[in-house]
Amino acid sequence: MNHPRILFLAAALAAALSACQPKTAATGDTSPPVAIVDKVPISRDFYEFYVKGITGGKNSSDLKPEQRAAALDNLIRARLVGEEAGKEGLDKTGDTAYLLQLSRLNVLEQAVQENYLKDRKPTEQELRAEYETQLAAMPKTEYHARHILVATEAYAQKLIDRLDKGEKFDALAKSESMDSSKNNGGDLGWFTANRMVPEFAGAVIALKPGEYTHKPVQTQFGWHVIQLLETRELTPPPYDQVRQRLEQVVEAKKFRLYTDELMHNAKIEKLLDQSSPSAPARGAATPQGTPPAPAAAPPAAPAPPAPAAAPAPGQAPAAPASTPPAQPPPKN
């Protein structure tokens, strides 16, 4: 199975942590041992699996003798530490028990996903249909704007009054804004409306190029004075450029439908809203962390969709734009 490197490590170390029990025939591993630790073997296949995880896919034969020996020593060390954890009951208590459960669910879900999808590869028709769906949902316009972020409405209004008297927007942003974009005169670069919180997006869409808001705009970040610099039509990426991503999207949707069916057929009783000693009272306010400021520059490329994370089924990612826009204030 082609798991990411972290899953190789997680699986190897999780196995080492649970290795106080002898290996059984249920594993299907009949390879000879590379070491025997307290009468429990570490098999050749398991060792090779571990080596691939820590070397990015290399076999032990590709390593120098001292590297092979060091890898085996590390695995033995993890086995011994795992035995101690088992003796002390640490694998059954606290966060450790939950982490082991989640690691197991994650590995198993990815195994099921790979097995389910191996005979359900997306057809050309499915990919074309998904491409059209993504195009229909894709924003048609990009905006280039700048803003000044301050703490109060009254102060934002004073800045608008100064703009009305002829002061330069970028100069005010550099001297008065609380946002990191102040270093660029408040410039947020190019972005689409769906990349912004609704209040900010609505204000930008209502402006014409060159105009600024004559009333302060409130978001969860504070009070904004916004100026729209220019707009442009968003050019969708060609089909061939995003075909691989579309395959991932279609596969994710297929697996989501499969897990939806499992949810539908299972007998599930949800008790989340029942009171518990560790849960906040119903209706109590839940504190939230301070949201990040608008990013001054976009990421180099859209992040690739991760395999379905445990225990929630994988979500279907959106197809990437041809040029990722800069990020204005993100949605919560």
* pLDDT tens-digit map of 172-226: 999 999 999 999 999 999 999 999 999 999 999 999 999 999 999 999 999 999 9
| Under 8 Å between Cβ of 102 and 311 | yes
Give yes or no for residue 280 having a pLDDT over 90: no
Q: Given the structure tokens 């859209």, which residue do they identify?
A: 302
Cα–Cα distance for residue pair 90/78, rounded to 1 Å = 14
- For 56-83, what is each residue's pLDDT tens digit? 999 999 999 999 999 999 999 999 999 9
pLDDT of residue 80: 96
pLDDT of residue 1: 47
For residue 249, give every residue at least 6 positions away whose Cβ sits within 8 Å of its Cβ, in sequence order, or none.
Answer: 130, 134, 305, 316, 317, 318, 319
Average pLDDT over residues 257-268: 97
| Under 8 Å between Cβ of 85 and 91 | yes
pLDDT-based confidence at residue 274 (cuts at 50, 70, 90): confident
Cα–Cα distance for residue pair 151/328, rounded to 1 Å = 18
Cα–Cα distance for residue pair 80/54, rounded to 1 Å = 19
Tell me the whole-structure pTM to 2 decimals: 0.63
pLDDT-based confidence at residue 316 (cuts at 50, 70, 90): very low
In one-letter notation, the amino acid at residue 72 is L
- For 124-146, what is each residue's pLDDT tens digit? 999 999 999 999 999 999 999 99
